[in-house]
Chain A
Amino acid sequence: MYRMIEADVFRALADPTRRAVYERLAGREMSVSELTAGFAISQPAISQHLAALRGAGLVRERRQGRHAYYRIDPNGLAPLVRWIARYRAFWPKRIDKLKQVLKGMEP
């Protein structure tokens, strides 16, 4: 189950424009038009990126009247952190096994 969420986070951040949108929102909450002002792409395109980021749990939307504001979800990166932590535990164990294999090899 975690793997699906992790994959969504990776995929969402693999796109350079989406990553840039995410990084801008890391600074502060913004409306779509504020956000669009900083990019050379259309508002609908920005909205699509926002939808992908929201789908991956990286960005939250706040509605106020007719306006919508976006900010990053601080928990959104947790799956990525978890994925990396898993490998951080994995590799030292495997390098230890490599040492055992080397000792058993014919030189």
Chain B
Amino acid sequence: MTHEADPNDSIDSIVVECDLAEPPTQVWKALTDPELLSAWLMPNDIRPHIGARFTFQADADVGGGIIECEVLAAEPPSLLRYSWRSDDSDRDSRDRTLDSVVTFVLTETADGGTHLRFVHDGFPIGAMQPVAQLAEATPTVIDLEVERTRRRTSPTMATGGLRWAA
């Protein structure tokens, strides 16, 4: 794999960075054309305009159901950001959702390719410094849980561990 864990990678964000041979305009198309996007991510009806709402039909590995999105930033061919809200369709209440944000930043490289920086963040845990400290103070319980998670999801977990459990 060519991605590297970001040094800022932590419990409150997921970062994937890589260099692509194709130019930003082509990568932009793969991020914003519904058919191309579904070929590498999930079935969707994306429209890359600020305020546009669209959905993904989520795969089982992220819990299934529907993921509701709203475009927060669209600056072709360099910046795409949308909200990422897993709808908990098992429950009746509309507000039982898992809110977060995904961002794609495309930068043209010297050889005409693209540097892609992907970030998934905005989890409610982001503002919770005291909790991170607590986790350090009680490592056994949290470590066990993380270890179980790691085993279930390996090997790609190696691209960025849950640092505050260390």
Contacts and interface: CB of A to CB of B under 8 A. Distances in A.
A2 to B, nearest CB: 8
Interface residues of B, number: 59
B11 A81 contact: yes
B30 A4 contact: no
B125 interface: yes
B108 interface: no
Interface string A74-107: 1101101111111111111111111111100101
A56 B37 CA distance: 35
Contact of B134 (A6, A74, A96): A74
Interface in B130-166: 130-131, 133-135, 138, 141-142, 145-146, 149-150, 153-154, 156-157, 159-160, 162, 165
Contact of B97 (A10, A26, A77, A83): A10
Given A22-B131, A105-B36, A86 B120 contact: no
A90 B26 contact: no
B142 A81 contact: yes
Contacts of A10: 97-99, 123-124
Interface string B11-24: 10010101011110
Contacts of A45: none
A101 B82 CA distance: 21
Contacts of B49: none
A92 B159 contact: yes
Contacts of B72: none
Q: What are the 5 tightest A-B residue pairs by CB atom distance, in nearest-first order?
A: A13-B124, A97-B40, A89-B153, A7-B88, A85-B149
Interface of A: 2-4, 6-8, 10-11, 13-14, 19, 22-23, 26-27, 72, 74-75, 77-78, 80-102, 105, 107
20 contacts: A3-B90, A4-B88, A7-B88, A7-B96, A13-B125, A74-B138, A78-B145, A80-B125, A81-B165, A84-B125, A85-B150, A87-B14, A91-B120, A92-B1, A92-B156, A99-B20, A100-B40, A101-B36, A101-B39, A105-B29
